[in-house]
Structure 1
């Protein structure tokens, strides 16, 4: 039980690199590794304090603020923090979470093994549709491979973030509806496991 939610017992979180593949379109390796607070804190702090990221995440703050934020997530069995890399150079931060224990669960019929994602590209050089196609497909593939019982991957970008919503739709996510969190109007994006995206 988490609060009033009954859910499966979650496995221990992995450590280190969890996913790697070569993207022939970019001529680069895309990889995902777990966040290391000592290694990644300054980078995370810099990313969160950039105006573009602040506009959507609203998590700006000091190094101490961000250490506390990341330590809380490290202790939370429902969230896995990840760093995305191109050719082993960090460019993005992702949170992968079990949707049933998350704030998104009341807004749709969350399954026991549904996963959700929060996404942040911190390095300006790695923005753009071709890069998003690479890392979003890799992140999706990792979560579908991580547990074969995961039937859906969900996300809740701000409803007015048309660019990100368009990128997600290009990768097979459907915009199901809009709903209100206390801090934002969100769009529910859902990708269903299919034979095609299991390859």
Structure 2
């Protein structure tokens, strides 16, 4: 664990993980109570001390979270364990045998852990149905309600969370955001409260779209639409997979703009969609082709520009994030 690792890390369930380090050992405390002592071995492995088998799963997950959140460049955690809880291998948290036991960053961030806060789409049985467009697609699960994702962003030092939009509570801010000149230039959805109520009610009734509010330290600052691409207008323009998701996004609060915050919320939004449904192999976006700044932000998070194409209302850039690319050298912290 590097010298600049985190000293404390809040967890989404309200608990707090604290870390203290010496030259040869580090210690973890959970809500002030001792959790785990770890010795650094000369070969770089970490050796948990006096860790009962029954407590391995939680303690090693928390150790990995602290190490990976504190050092986004760290790709693996090598461990020295005398015995292993088989559930750790079954979950994908732990790989290897003997002196090659390790937790890999790429797999760790694919485990929902406490980050996923609502019932996931994962495991919903597949049944192909026909869309009005003539395209077959899987029947979509019921939409979640309330908070769906929460994670403390160690770089920002702030909570990044996503919750579903509540029309009664969020309509005034949605109306204000859409009528700002900066947002209107790209969304072109200016209107009064009643127009925006109808807009949001139509999306609420559409199983294709999930409307989300992004929050930093629980302050609403952004609006997102996450849609199933197979049923969307984008489907004719690329070979959409059954579980591909797409995103529309806007930052409504001016004081939450900036590239460092885009990295936090775009990473969180992409992470949520990939956690929600493991069958999702791609997340796509279609910003205006001349929106160079947004395209650069997407590329910084692993999206690539597949092509440009023409919607009736705009020339768009097809931006594609493969699941493998997001989790390979995952930049979450």
Return the TM-score normalized by structure 1: 0.98
C-alpha spacing 1:12/1:162, structure 2 compared with 1 (3 Å):
same
Structure 1 counterpart of 2:236: 106
- Deviating beyond 2 angstroms after TM superposition, the runs of 4 or more aligned structure 1 residues are none
Q: Distance in 1 between the 2:291 and 2:263 partners?
A: 17
State which of 210, 213, 224 in structure 2 corresponds to 1:94: 224
Count of aligned pairs:
199
Structure 2 counterpart of 1:66: 196
For 1:11-90, what aligned pairs fall within 5 Å after superposition? 11-90=141-220
Q: Distance in 2 between the 1:21 and 1:37 partners?
A: 24
Structure 1 counterpart of 2:131: 2
Q: Distance in 1 between the 2:139 and 2:311 partners?
A: 27
- Deviation, structure 1 residue 18: 0.1
- Deviation, structure 1 residue 32: 0.1
Q: Distance in 2 between the 1:95 and 1:52 partners?
A: 18
Q: Secondary structure at the match of 2:246?
A: strand
C-alpha spacing 1:195/1:45, structure 2 compared with 1 (3 Å):
closer
User: Can you list the C-alpha shifts for 1:60-84, whole angstroms capped at 9, x where unaligned?
Assistant: 0000000000000000000000000
Q: Which consecutive residues of structure 1, in runs of 5 or more, have no partner in the other structure?
A: none
Q: Distance in 2 between the 1:195 and 1:189 partners?
A: 13
Q: Tell me if the contact between 2:308 and 2:318 (Cα under 8 Å) persists in the aligned partners.
A: yes
Structure 1 counterpart of 2:299: 169
State which of 118, 124, 127 in structure 1 corresponds to 2:254: 124
C-alpha spacing 1:22/1:113, structure 2 compared with 1 (3 Å):
same
Higher Cα radius of gyration: 2
User: Can you list the C-alpha shifts for 1:82-129, whole angstroms capped at 9, x where unaligned?
Assistant: 000000000000000000000000000000000000000000001110
- Deviation, structure 1 residue 5: 1.4
C-alpha RMSD of matched pairs (Å): 1.0
Return the TM-score normalized by structure 2: 0.59
User: Can you list the C-alpha shifts for 1:139-187, whole angstroms capped at 9, x where unaligned?
Assistant: 0000000000000000000000000000000000000100000000000
Q: Tell me if the contact between 2:184 and 2:190 (Cα under 8 Å) persists in the aligned partners.
A: yes
Q: Distance in 1 between the 2:148 and 2:327 partners?
A: 18
C-alpha spacing 1:103/1:195, structure 2 compared with 1 (3 Å):
closer
